[in-house]
A and B are shown apart, each in its own frame.
Chain A
Amino acid sequence: MIYGDVANKASVISFNVKNIHPFDVGTLLDKQGIAVRTGHHCTQPLMQCFNIPGTIRASFSFYNTKDEIDIFILALEKAIKMLS
């Protein structure tokens, strides 16, 4: 589930995996060398509004490559497999 879908959205993607806590996903991504942020991102009222404990947030910058995005997706798939 991706949060935020406005037009012209920047390259900051907040998301969650169904039935898995964002902290668990973040920890296993970190072990694979992928740096994401997890938690409230200082927006507790918004998290309450969505009724979620937090999100995982991937932020892409001009120096990231398509290959890195592929590596991120593979790492994410591995994390989900370990946690399900």
Chain B
Amino acid sequence: MSIAEIEQEIIEEFELFADDWELKYEHLIELGKSLPLINEKYKTEENIIKGCQSKVWLHSALENGKVLYTADSDAIITKGMVALMIRVLSNQKPDDILHADMAFIDKIGLKEHLSPTRANGLVSMIRQMKLDALALSQRS
């Protein structure tokens, strides 16, 4: 599936919750449990994303021209957000990752996680995923 198709799938999935914050966050917590976990050996200081109130570790690798992301976080809601980012961007071509606008975050009502005072970690996370994709594509 393309990035746009996955984004659309997530938007439809979250439409089921309408304005029920409780169901939405319960779903986010569940998603956190499905996160493709980072190998313990990559859980290093240098793989921590700066600007997160909660810790996020991210690892990126290039396989058959596509970027594979794994991650972890010490906070479960953050983990859910990270799982969403990975679902959209992982297993995609570096060029497509670089051009993703991630507009679905606004559409599923989780924009507050993008505000600079709240959890600028998510912005840093997306930036780091794109930087890694760029670096990996230059190396190949």
Query: Which A residues lie at the B interface, using CB under 8 A?
Result: 20-21, 23-24, 27-28, 31, 38-39, 53-54, 82-83
Complex Cα gap A37–B5 (Å): 37
Can you report 9 residue pairs joining A to B where beta carbons are below 8 Å apart?
A20-B76, A21-B74, A21-B75, A23-B54, A24-B75, A54-B53, A82-B22, A83-B29, A83-B76
Query: Which B residues lie at the A interface, using CB under 8 A?
Result: 21-22, 25-26, 29, 53-55, 74-78, 119
The number of inter-chain residue pairs (CB within 8 angstroms) is 37
B22, A53: Cβ atoms under 8 Å?
no
Main secondary structure of the interface of B (DSSP, over half): helix
- Extra contacts, 10 of them, besides A23-B75, A24-B77, A31-B25 (Cβ < 8 A), are A21-B76, A23-B54, A23-B78, A24-B76, A27-B25, A28-B25, A31-B22, A53-B55, A82-B26, A83-B76
Complex Cα gap A20–B29 (Å): 12
A23, B21: Cβ atoms under 8 Å?
no
A23, B77: Cβ atoms under 8 Å?
yes
B25, A82: Cβ atoms under 8 Å?
yes
- Chain B residues near A82 (CB, 8 Å)? 22, 25-26, 29
